[in-house]
């Protein structure tokens, strides 16, 4: 606790000082502008010219309250007071003694306080030797400090070093150094000269370190400025000399302009800037008609066209984004939800980097247009790069500028086209890149799509690292299996599945038909697409996962309608099934329908194709013979292996289904998949082949309203498959009622369209025995069949899910 030597109390006006601390025995000049402070001065002049000067804690406080002021200040006498311009008063005061505020008597219109005088104790709390040591330390620190302070008066230094009392040493130093007012207030509040000198050592030590750092920084800046000025001076001399000689004036001017443009770039390291400086300097020395001058000029112009400092501000309005996505795309609810989640995260964490999105799905489902919609919602520039067929690594990284016809890679060109540092770049068909003797472009993409590396992407032509971390990359792909694993690992995959029949209908009515009607110069009164007509276009004239062929078919109808309108004078065309046959000719595709009766040796399987799901019939014939197995239907190696596994497994369960145990010796088996012109492969037909084989060998018919998919193991386990959504759509389209699926695919059902969930019954199975118990109609088990399908059956048995 501080101890004060208290004498008489006094009542004097007070003045709050901003950024200044008055010390006893100190003379000070300052200006007063606040009305309350001027009134305090006038009140002091009217009495005995004494005023209490106290510092306020925050210099920004305009009308300080008692809690805004320090408790300890100095009573001073006003020596001179002059009125200046604009109401400012110039004051000169001289400190008398230190005092502490006891009570605030008045706060308005001016401050009046009651004070208790408190002097600094001169009693020695330490030994003479300790005080002498402290004084020597203070003098040494002050001497070091004075060497760092510019223009420090020698008289002040000599006066301080010649003091032999603590009081004189403190006053000679503390009154003549520039320190923050908080430190000066702390010195004022110290109760003894030993404490004051101790505080002074800490302040001098800290200020010396700060001044030393300031001097080092100043020297570095000065050295750099001197070098730049010297280079500029020499460059100007070279320009003047070249101008006097009349040599390469145009080249010199171009080099100077390019030099100024390089100097204006902000987001570039000094090493890279120096490299561009050197190129500009080389240009200034080249003969104007030389090939090298043209190469350097083209290189510098390309570098300066890059958007080093230009960025756009993201507009992450989720409601607007949802409106734009719903306006441009029908369905795709899961995809839209994922995109909105990504935008929400970017809004909450603007500095997040490294999100590389891959939109994967069959052709024509809207991958490219979704990327364009994202750019619109975020307010970013949109650039599309088609990577299909790219085989040369230089297409990504560029060519060395020493080659004839060298140019930057596609990524750098995209940034030049966007003219901003943070565009949205759509890398279209990333799965179509190839590799040859010129290199592997997918390996070059590893750096582009890696957030840990692309902040310093180095193009072979530019040779200066460019920051790609602010670019939002979106890639599209049809087949993820063709993308190298390291490249796929850098991307967040969003799956876009094929459209259902109902989704195609809604897209045609809301988007495709109005667009094509307007595009072909028609109006809504000229042509009407009926519900029957649109469904006929979808089912009988197109077969695809997306809607491109459907749009072309609608465009063909609109063209023929325009011709009829002009030649035959039709006023209105109603597009229905009969009208479509007249316009587009006979129907191209037959609608796959489920069999109408139970059959032996014929099973409906489900397959995935690049244009969506399809039903796949597996037929099995058994004939007298010597155990030959024939497999036809343009089947791939994997499907042929599945057929062999099916035969081996049936040998193990032959007795259970009344099959002769030596059938593999006495019977010839023929397994066939119709539509032999279409190649087929994959493991998901294993359960279908096994069921068809058991049915053909045992004579037990297969339910006609059941379709199935799943891979089979040699021990009869049904394993997970892919493309279940597309396969379910195909089963629904064909009129199938029950679909047998692997148990591990059960969670996929939640992702299906509600129409598919309600229209089909999914039976998850774990073993082939469960498949056979559902699909085969054994007379002795026909009454037990419904019980097998009930959810209350044993957990290991198949459970029928009615969705």
Give the pLDDT confidence of 517-565 residue by residue, as tens digits.
Answer: 888 888 888 888 888 888 888 888 888 888 888 999 999 989 988 888 8
Catalytic choice (208, 684, 695, 773): 684
pLDDT for the residue 741: 93
Q: How confident is the model at residue 797 (pLDDT cuts 50, 70, 90)?
A: very low
Catalytic site includes residue 727: yes
Residue 71 is classified by DSSP as S
* Contacts with 329 (C-beta within 8 Å, 6 or more apart), sequence order: 336, 366, 369, 370, 373
Query: Is a pLDDT exceeding 50 seen at residue 1?
Result: no
Q: What is the pLDDT of residues 394-453, one digit of tens each?
A: 888 888 887 887 888 888 888 888 888 889 999 988 888 877 767 788 888 888 888 778
Confidence band, pLDDT 50/70/90 cuts, at residue 124: low
CATH H superfamily, domain 318-495 = P-loop containing nucleotide triphosphate hydrolases (3.40.50.300)
**93 phi and psi angles, rounded to 5 deg:** -130, 165
Secondary structure element (H or E) that encloses residue 707, with its range? strand 706-708
> Strand pairing partners for 436?
439
Residue-averaged pLDDT of the chain: 82
Model-level pTM? 0.59
In this prediction, residue 782 carries a pLDDT of 40
**Alpha-carbon distance 702 to 599, whole Å?**
5
CATH label, 5-119, candidates 3.40.50.720, 2.60.40.10, 2.30.130.40, 3.40.50.880: 2.30.130.40
Q: Mean of the pLDDT values across residues 125-154? A: 82
Contact residues for 148 (Cβ-Cβ < 8 A; gap 6+):
208, 211, 212, 215
Q: Is 232 helix (H, G, I), strand (E, B) or coil?
A: helix
Whose tokens are 């003219």? That residue is: 419
Least confident of 60-69, 267-276, 527-536, 773-782: 773-782
CA-CA-CA-CA torsion for 44, 46, 47, 53, nearest 10 degrees?
Answer: 0
User: Using CA atoms, how far apart are residues 586 and 494, in angstroms rounded to an integer?
Assistant: 38
Residue 382, beta-bridge partner list? 424
| d(C-alpha 556, C-alpha 588), whole Å | 15
Q: pLDDT-based confidence at 289, cuts 50/70/90?
A: low
Residue with tokens 């210099």: 59
What residues does each domain of the chain span? 5-119, 248-305, 318-495, 501-584, 602-802
Residues facing 605 on adjacent strands = 616, 708
258 or 537: which leads in pLDDT: 537
Give me 208's structure tokens: 């010396």
Question: Which CATH class name applies to 602-802?
Answer: alpha beta
Residue 125 near residue 3, CB atoms below 8 Å: no
Q: How confident is the model at residue 786 (pLDDT cuts 50, 70, 90)?
A: very low
36 is catalytic: no
Q: What is the mean pLDDT of residues 495-507?
A: 82
Residue range 381-402, pLDDT digits in tens: 899 988 888 888 888 888 888 7
State the Cα–Cα distance between residues 779 and 786, nearest whole angstrom: 13
Count of alpha carbons within 13 Å of 264, Cβ hemisphere only?
13
- The CATH code of domain 501-584 reads 1.10.8.60
Confidence of residue 97 (pLDDT cuts 50, 70, 90): confident
Q: Each residue of 144-177: pLDDT tens digit?
A: 888 888 777 888 888 888 888 888 888 888 888 8
Catalytic residue among 36, 504, 727, 766: 727
Give residue 248's pLDDT: 53
Q: Is it the case that residue 725 has pLDDT exceeding 90?
A: no
Please tell me the predicted confidence (pLDDT) of residue 763.
92
Q: Scanning the structure block, which residue is given the tokens 């000067």? A: 53
- In 636-681, beta strands by DSSP E: 667-672
Distances (CA, A) of 207 to 140, 146, 525, 564, 675: 14, 11, 87, 94, 91
Burial of 474 (0-12, 13-18, 19+ CB in 10 A): buried
């Amino acid at each position: 606790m501080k101890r004060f030597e208290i004498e008489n109390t006094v009542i004097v006006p007070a003045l709050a000082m901003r950024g200044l601390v008055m010390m006893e025995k100190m003379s000070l000049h300052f200006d007063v502008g606040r009305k309350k402070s001027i009134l305090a001065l006038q009140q002091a002049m009217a009495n005995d010219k004494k005023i209490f000067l106290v510092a306020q804690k925050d210099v920004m406080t305009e009308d300080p309250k008692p809690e805004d002021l320090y408790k300890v200040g100095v009573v001073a006498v006003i020596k001179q007071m002059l009125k200046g311009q604009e109401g400012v008063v110039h004051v000169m005061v001289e400190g008398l003694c230190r005092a502490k505020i006891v009570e605030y008597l008045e706060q308005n219109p001016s401050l009046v306080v009651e004070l208790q005088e408190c002097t600094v104790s001169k009693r020695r709390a330490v030994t003479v030797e300790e005080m002498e040591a402290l004084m020597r330390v203070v003098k040494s620190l002050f001497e070091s400090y004075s060497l760092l302070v510019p223009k420090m008066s020698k008289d002040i230094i000599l006066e301080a070093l010649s003091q032999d009392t603590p009081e004189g040493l403190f006053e000679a130093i503390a009154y003549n150094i520039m320190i923050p007012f908080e430190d000066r207030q702390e010195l004022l509040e110290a109760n003894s000269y030993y404490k004051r000198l101790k505080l002074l050592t800490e302040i001098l030590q800290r200020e010396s370190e700060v001044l030393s750092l300031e001097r080092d920084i100043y020297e570095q800046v000065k050295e750099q400025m001197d070098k730049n000025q010297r280079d500029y001076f020499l460059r100007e001399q070279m320009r003047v000399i070249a101008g006097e000689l009349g040599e390469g004036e145009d080249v010199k001017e171009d080099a100077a302009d390019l030099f100024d443009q390089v100097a204006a770039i902000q987001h570039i390291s000094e090493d890279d800037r120096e490299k561009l400086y050197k190129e500009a300097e080389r240009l200034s020395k080249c003969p104007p008609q030389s090939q090298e001058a043209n190469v350097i000029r083209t290189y510098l112009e390309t570098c300066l066209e890059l958007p080093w400092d230009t960025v756009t501000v993201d507009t992450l309005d989720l409601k607007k984004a949802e409106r734009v996505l719903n306006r441009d795309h029908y369905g795709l609810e899961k995809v839209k939800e994922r995109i909105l989640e990504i935008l929400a995260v970017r809004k909450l964490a603007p500095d997040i980097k490294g999100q590389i999105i891959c939109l994967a799905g069959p052709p024509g489902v809207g991958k490219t247009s979704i990327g364009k919609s994202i750019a619109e919602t975020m307010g970013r520039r949109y650039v599309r790069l088609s990577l299909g067929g790219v085989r040369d690594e230089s297409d990504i990284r560029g060519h060395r500028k020493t080659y004839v016809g060298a140019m930057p890679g596609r990524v750098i060109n995209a940034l030049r086209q966007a003219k901003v540092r943070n565009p949205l770049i759509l890398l279209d068909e990333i799965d179509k890149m190839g590799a040859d003797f010129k290199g592997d472009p997918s390996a070059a993409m590893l750096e582009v799509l890696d957030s840990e590396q692309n902040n310093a992407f180095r193009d072979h032509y530019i040779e200066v690292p460019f920051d790609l971390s602010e670019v939002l990359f979106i890639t599209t792909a049809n087949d993820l299996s063709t993308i190298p694993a390291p490249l796929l690992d850098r991307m967040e995959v969003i799956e876009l599945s094929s459209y259902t029949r109902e989704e195609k209908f809604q897209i045609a009515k809301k988007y495709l038909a109005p667009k094509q009607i307007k595009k072909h110069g028609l109006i809504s009164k000229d042509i009407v697409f009926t519900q029957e007509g649109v469904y006929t276009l979808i089912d009988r004239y197109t077969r695809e996962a997306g809607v491109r062929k459907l749009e072309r078919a609608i465009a063909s109808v609109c063209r023929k309608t325009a011709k009829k309108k002009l030649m035959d004078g039709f006023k209105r065309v109603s597009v229905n099934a009969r009208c479509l046959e007249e316009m587009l000719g006979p129907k191209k595709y037959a609608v796959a329908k489920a069999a109408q009766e139970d059959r032996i040796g014929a099973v409906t399987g489900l397959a995935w194709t690049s244009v969506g799901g399809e039903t796949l019939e597996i037929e099995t014939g058994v004939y007298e013979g010597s155990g030959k197995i024939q497999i036809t239907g343009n089947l791939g190696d994997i499907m042929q292996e599945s057929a062999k596994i099916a035969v081996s497994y049936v040998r193990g369960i032959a007795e259970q289904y009344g099959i002769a145990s030596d059938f593999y010796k006495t019977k010839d088996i023929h397994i066939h998949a119709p539509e032999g012109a279409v190649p087929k492969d994959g493991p998901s037909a294993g359960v279908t082949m096994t069921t068809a084989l058991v049915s053909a060998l045992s004579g037990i018919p297969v339910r006609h309203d059941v379709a199935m998919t799943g891979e089979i193991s040699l021990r009869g386990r049904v394993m997970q498959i892919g493309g279940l959504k597309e396969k379910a759509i195909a089963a629904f389209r064909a009129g199938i009622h029950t679909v047998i699926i692997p148990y591990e695919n059960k969670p996929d059902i939640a992702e299906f369209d509600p129409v598919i969930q309600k229209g089909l019954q999914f039976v998850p199975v774990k073993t082939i025995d469960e498949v056979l118990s559902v699909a085969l109609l054994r007379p002795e088990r026909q009454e037990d069949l419904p019980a097998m399908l009930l959810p209350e059956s044993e957990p290991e048995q198949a459970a029928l899910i009615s969705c």
